[in-house]
Amino acid sequence: MSLPQRFLDWFSARGWAPRAHQLGVLAHAQARESVLLISPTGGGKTLAGFLPSLIEITEKGSGEGIHTLYISPLKALAVDIERNLEAPVKEMGLPVNVETRTGDTPHSKRLRQRQKPPDILITTPEQVSLLVADPHAGHMLRNLRTVILDELHSIVTSKRGVLLSLALTRLKAHAPDAIRIGLSATVADPDALRAWLVPSGAAPAPLVMGQPGARPHIRILSSVERVPWAGHSSLYAIPEIYDEIRKAKMTLVFVNTRSQAEAIFQTLWEANDDNLPIALHHGSLDVAQRRKVEAAMGEGRLRAVVCTSTLELGIDWGDVDLVVHVGAPKGSSRLLQRIGRSNHRLDMPSEALLVPSNRFEVLECQAALRAAEENAQDTEYPMVLKLDVLAQHILGRACAGPFLADDLYTEVSSAWTYRNLTREDFDKAVDFVATGGYALKAYERYAKLKRPADGTLRLSHPSLAMAYRLNMGTIVEDEMLKVRLAHAKRRLGKRVIVGGRVLGEVEEWFISQLTIGKTFIFAGEVLRFEGLDEFGALASRSSDREPMVPSYQGGKFPLSTYLAERVRQMIADPAAWQELPPQVKGWLSLQRFRSIVPQAGEMLVETFPRADKHYMVCYPFEGRLAHQTLGMLLTRRLERAGMQPLGFVASEYALVVWMVRDLSLAISAGRISLGRLFDEDMMGDDLEAWMAESALMKRTFRNAAIIAGLIERRQPGKEKTTRQMTVNTDLIYDVLRTHQPDHILLRAAWDDAAEGLIDAWRLGNMLRRIKGQIVHKALETVSPLSVPILLDIGRESVYGEGRDALLAEAANELIDEAMRLV
């Protein structure tokens, strides 16, 4: 396979040669075969995806309508791809028209694109669903030849991917001969992506593998400071992080949450004696501010950016030569994705520094480092069969025009994600969209489809198409309030606060905790809360030294199953401790002396008294979500056993329950068996009873109801508050539980809770894993291994030096007690 001369000349002028995987993708595309390309960062994946289209359009023309649809998971990535694609198109003088279509695209441009579509349209998953819901979609898509799905590994693991898979079935209905080109970083299960990419029942897409890149250079910070026992701030390492920034050309400082980003940026800025240009980037900042940061990065005007996952996907950010990861990465694939942002070329090793926030994270960072060196992957399996997403797609299909249920079932079940969808469940989903379901049939506002005499299904009112466009999508966020920079003015002799430019958005529940005069960190500044107006929150600049840090309900990553297994193996193997810092190695050695170091397949349970309470600490290493669910279920069982539990705290690594009664005495007397206490039968009636009582189900039901279109967040000219939606969905939830407990939205909510919020699958696996492998150690005092989880009890949300001092004061006595040799 060889490129046309014009393309070969372009490669040659840049000192390049086509890579084998780029030619491999081209060969499959020219044979009209869908194909999956897996290649590490910097290997030219994006160019490989576009080459077949650029060549075909140049040689044969595109005809009328869109020739190639490129789908990106991020709006910023779509804009960046358009900019990067313009270079070869312009330099080779190709007759190719490239445009973007995202949520920010003006209505006038969308109308023009409908009348005169570009050759290549770069867009996002949500926009594809809107496109196929347009009655004029056939005009735009009739000559579609290629669909490129970039960063496929990051799309397929969420409901966005499930909705996209349904949109692809609609694209196929309009353009049966179009092929799909999937572009992905290295994944744990390539075969799942190969199957996802093509219609159900078809042979999996051929796989093209890019050549491995240079092995990354990864270091773990060996701090001169004492590594904290607990906490997630990593503020102890700020001087060393700043020193790394000074030595590098440009550094990305990745953190796991938006609140961490704000705290790390503020502390780095205070340490910035050289006045280096350091910026902040996360999803709650105003779009204009994020674009300014991205432009400055591309132009090489910044020395460092503190960021979250908003910058981890395949955008080429200029001269980044170092990635600092603050906090443990929680997964080896996520680490490889993020560190691939540095030295964004296949032949240059990525440079990365891991900064653990506490002692357990030292172990996790060491496990992640070894996994990355082996290129071991722990990506999630693609998400499948979401009934609320199906309901949204059915309504979108009706927006495009009338349809027959039989035809749509055939189409939907051709998606790999819905290959196991039964006709009964499909009919229930259609009935829900048409009537609201049995329990809601009497309410006309839930009747969105009608069936005329010809047997087709169509919208019951044209206004529903507008409602669909305003409310479609699968990302449900908590109520956000805009934060505007305020300043004081004199009006009629009085001092009034006036709002200025928008800094971004924070969750309403955080603002509700503030009183006027309270200070907090946001958008990289210390702000004083000045109150609310009709547009959101007003805040002025402040010089306060101990502001609060906004915390966000979303954005936390669970510890991957793969890394959890590696951490258990490391703890069980004293030979592996030699790679750890002396203070961490000493901590584990003292644990072996004072208590027990469990084997990799065992779970240690420690019991001990402290003050006027009795404690049980167990170490499953299965992630916070699974541990929180375990804590809920254990306290129910301990209550029934008469232990009078008072509370519990879960971390990524351990769980502590404190109680009035002495559990170790009950165990030694034979009244309680740890095997029975941790039996997997708790995943039956105990779990169902807890879920029925929990607010968790109502929260997940609200999200499912919004996605399915039962509750509309937005209406023309107005938007419902989270409180209004919660009241509505809580009432509906109670009605459905009483009158239609098998309603598809109740099933969707249970599925979401089990899969995400309570991690039921992982907890069940853990309970099976430890069966017969529980090791109990009754102690007279706290153990070294228990110190971090005990310090999490009652920790307060105080920022900076105040928080550190508070933690240190509370910790000293506990640490001394645990580390005492006699």
Query: What is the radius of gyration, based on Cα positions, of the chain?
Result: 28
Q: Phi/psi class of residue 486: alpha, beta or left (left: φ > 0; alpha: ψ in -120 to 50)?
A: beta
Structure tokens at 713: 């967040």
Query: What is the structure's pLDDT at 231?
Result: 78
Q: Where are the beta strands (DSSP E) in 327-468?
A: 351-355, 449-450, 458-459
Q: How far apart are CA 324 and CA 339, in angstroms?
A: 8
Which of 45, 4, 41, 8 lies closest to 24, judged by CA? 45
Question: The pTM is what?
Answer: 0.83
Question: Checking DSSP bridges between strand 449-450 and strand 458-459, what pairing results, if any?
Answer: antiparallel
Q: What is the mean pLDDT of each run of 10 residues along the chain (822 residues)?
A: 87 90 96 94 85 93 85 75 83 91 83 88 94 91 94 92 98 96 88 96 94 85 82 86 94 88 90 93 82 85 89 68 89 80 71 91 90 80 95 97 97 97 97 91 89 93 92 78 76 64 73 74 78 77 72 58 88 93 92 94 95 94 88 91 90 92 94 94 83 75 92 71 63 88 92 79 91 95 93 54 48 69 48
3-state secondary structure 291-333: HHHHHHHHCCCCCEEEECHHHCCCCCCCCCCEEEEECCCCCHH
With tokens 């051709």, the residue in question is: 414
Identify the H or E element spanning 208: strand 207-209
Which strands make up the sheet holding 613-618, listed edge to edge? 645-650, 655-659, 613-618, 603-610, 774-778
DSSP, collapsed to helix, strand or coil, labels residue 417 as helix
Which of 243, 197, 251, 67 lies closest to 144, judged by CA? 67
Residues in the chain: 822
**pLDDT digit string, tens, across residues 328-343:** 888 888 888 888 777 6
Q: What's the Cα-to-Cα distance from 715 to each of 234, 707, 711, 720, rounded to whole Å?
A: 44, 15, 11, 8
Cβ-Cβ contacts under 8 Å for 270 (sequence gap 6 or more): none
CA 614-615-617 angle, to 5 degrees, is 165
